[in-house]
Structure 1
Amino acid sequence: MEQLTDHLFRQESGKMVSILTNIFGAANLTLAEDVVQDTLIQALNTWKLKGIPEKPEAWLFRVAKNKAIDQIRKNKHTESFDFTDNKRQLLNSEYTLNVSLENYWKEELIEDQQLKMMYICCSPEISPESQIALILKTLCGFSTPEIAKAFLTSDDTISKRLYRAKNYFREHKTKFELPASEELKERTLKVLNAIYLLFNEGYNSSNSKDLIRKDLIHNAIMLGKLINDNELTRSHEGQALLALMCFHTAREDSRLNPEGNIILLEQQDRSLWNKDLINLGIQYLNMASKGDSISSYHIEAAIAYEHCRAVNFKETNWQSILTLYDLLYQSNKSPIVAFNRVIPFYQIHGAEKALKELAKIKELDKYYLYHSFKAQLLKEMGKSDKALTSYEKALLLTDSEVEKAVIRGKMDKTKL
Structure 2
Amino acid sequence: MKFSSLLTLKRLLPLLIIAGGLVVFAMLTATAPGSPAVPVQERSWLVDAIKVRPQQLAPTLTLYGQIETPALVKPAAPSKSRVTTISVREGDAISTGQLLLALDERDFKPRLVQAEAKAEELRALIDSERLRFRNDQIAIKHEQSILQLQQSSVERAKKLKRQKLGSTAALEEAQEALKRQQLAYRSRKLAVDDHGARLQQLKAKLAHAEADVELAALNLERSWVIAPFDGFVEKLSVASGDQVNEGQVLLTLYPSDQLELRAKIPAAFQHEIQHALVAGSPLMAVAEYAGARLQLQMDRLSGKADSRGIDALFRIQDGQQWLRLGATVSLTLQRPAQDDVIPLPYPAIYDNNRVFRIIDRRLQAIDVQILGEYQRDNQSWLLVQSEDLQAGDEIITTQLPGAVSGLKVDVK
TM-score, shorter chain, exceeding 0.5: no
Higher RCO (C-alpha under 8 Å, 6+ residues apart): 2
Q: Normalized against structure 1, the TM-score is what?
A: 0.18
Which of these two proteins has the greater Rg computed from alpha carbons? 2
Select the structure that is richer in strand.
Answer: 2
Select the structure that is richer in helix.
Answer: 1
Q: Normalized against structure 2, the TM-score is what?
A: 0.19
